[in-house]
């Protein structure tokens, strides 16, 4: 009896909070991403989903499919274009194939630091890029911090570009990432994130590159014991909505969703900063050697790469980024 009463009270409570409506009145948006549920970006997406539910008084929800359940980033972007999912969280790297301007983030050492990076993302350039994909049925809602990417390797530490010679380094599905590794002397091997653990384990590749929370949450550190902080690129994450879904939403629904995305950004950035610090300690505890190489060596190795982008779409954006004070 007591349980029945409690159950009824809980039901009433949630009705008051969320409104009592049949399931069919609730708009559920499906969101796909490739990261583990322990990753801070996943936590930000959960936060965004809660915000949306609150703002819409339970009329809108987000169902998250993490950990590459629905495929690689490239595959989920294609699902988004087909309208088979509504939202995707992806790195900007595989987006280059759909929105060439996104290639700007794959060019090494373009940003002068985190302040410059966020000035770009929050300013005209970043906002233009969020809407640059609408003809490809892809609309950006917000960016998330994904820190800086650095090399991690299995057998040999990377202290200078020389050490990359002869190493197969996994890269994202992105042309600029491949060009970067090639110009540093390594052999770029594109693979999806979901395939990477076994590729490292089985020696298909000798190393990869990523930010600290991704190295930890993917457990790649179990195989790669050298992490060399050359911080070659700052590649943000982005939350995209398919324009077919967006067009079907009412003005009010769009506003709730955009607001939920917007408030998740400062939440994610704070969490990212805290998690990155914790992660470095956890990696060291797990026996990963952290190397602080001379970055200028890596910068020199890619100097001609910058010049090579002149006249390209990514090069045009690069110029604007470099000129931004």
Closer to ligand GCU by CB, 41 or 60: give it: 41
Closer to ligand GCU by CB, 12 or 274: give it: 274
Closer to ligand GCU by CB, 110 or 208: give it: 208
**Exactly one of 81, 148, 160, 172 binds ligand GCU (CB under 6 A); which one?**
172
Nearest alpha carbon to residue 192 among 87, 279, 77, 101: 77
Radius of gyration for the chain, computed over Cα atoms and rounded to the nearest angstrom: 21
Closer to ligand GCU by CB, 35 or 318: give it: 35
Tokens, residue 323 = 């000129």
Binding mask 116-145 toward ligand GCU (x if CB under 6 A, else -) reads ------------------------------
**With 0-12 CB in 10 A as exposed, 13-18 as middle and 19+ as buried, what is 238?**
buried
- Residue 86 · residue 241 · CB < 8 Å: yes
176 binds ligand GCU (CB under 6 A): no
**Exactly one of 146, 241, 302, 314 binds ligand GCU (CB under 6 A); which one?**
146
What's the min distance (Å) between Cβ of 198 and ligand GCU? Answer: 15
Binding mask 208-237 toward ligand GCU (x if CB under 6 A, else -) reads --x---x----------------------x
73 binds ligand GCU (CB under 6 A): yes
Stretches 33-41, 130-138, 178-186, 255-263: which one binds ligand GCU (CB under 6 A)? 33-41
Closer to ligand GCU by CB, 60 or 265: give it: 265
Please state whether beta strands 60-65 and 149-153 pair in parallel, antiparallel, or not at all (unpaired).
unpaired
Q: Which of residues 244-303 bind ligand GCU (CB under 6 A)?
A: none
Nearest alpha carbon to residue 305 among 296, 294, 315: 315
The per-residue b/e assignment along 63-79, b for 16 or more CB within 10 angstroms, e otherwise, is ebbbbbebbbbbbbbeb
Stretches 34-42, 182-190, 290-298, 317-325: which one binds ligand GCU (CB under 6 A)? 34-42
193 binds ligand GCU (CB under 6 A): yes
Closer to ligand GCU by CB, 77 or 249: give it: 77
User: By the criterion CB under 6 A, which residues form the site for ligand GCU?
Assistant: 34-35, 41, 73, 90-91, 146, 172, 193, 210, 214, 237
């Amino acid at each position: 009896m007591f349980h029945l009463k409690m159950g009824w009270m809980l039901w009433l409570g949630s009705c008051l909070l969320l409104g009592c409506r049949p399931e069919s009145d609730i708009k559920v948006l499906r969101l796909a991403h490739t990261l583990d549920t322990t990753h801070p970006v996943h936590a930000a997406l959960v936060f965004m989903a809660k915000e949306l539910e609150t703002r819409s008084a339970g009329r809108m929800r987000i169902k998250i499919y993490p950990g590459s359940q629905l495929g690689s980033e490239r595959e989920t972007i294609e699902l988004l274009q087909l309208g088979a999912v509504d939202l995707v969280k992806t790195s900007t790297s595989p987006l280059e194939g759909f929105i060439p301007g996104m290639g700007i983030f794959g060019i090494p050492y373009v940003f002068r630091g985190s302040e410059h990076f966020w000035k770009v993302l929050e300013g005209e350039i970043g906002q233009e890029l969020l809407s640059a994909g609408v003809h490809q049925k892809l609309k950006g809602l917000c960016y998330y911090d994904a820190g800086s990417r650095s090399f991690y390797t299995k057998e040999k530490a990377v202290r200078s570009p020389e050490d990359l010679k002869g190493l197969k380094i996994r890269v994202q599905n992105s042309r600029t990432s491949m060009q970067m590794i090639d110009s540093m002397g390594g052999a770029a091997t594109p693979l999806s994130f979901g395939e990477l653990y076994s590729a490292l384990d089985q020696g298909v590749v000798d190393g990869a590159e990523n930010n600290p929370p991704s190295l930890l949450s993917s457990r790649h550190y179990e195989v790669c014991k050298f992490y060399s902080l050359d911080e070659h690129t700052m590649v943000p994450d982005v939350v995209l909505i398919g324009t077919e879904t967006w067009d079907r939403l009412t003005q009010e629904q769009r506003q709730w969703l955009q607001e939920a995305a917007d408030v998740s950004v400062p939440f994610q950035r704070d969490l990212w900063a805290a998690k990155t610090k914790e992660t470095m300690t956890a990696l060291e505890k797990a026996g990963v050697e952290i190397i602080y190489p001379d970055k200028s060596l890596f910068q020199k190795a890619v100097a001609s790469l910058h010049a090579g982008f002149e006249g390209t779409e990514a090069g045009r954006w690069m110029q604007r980024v470099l000129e931004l004070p």
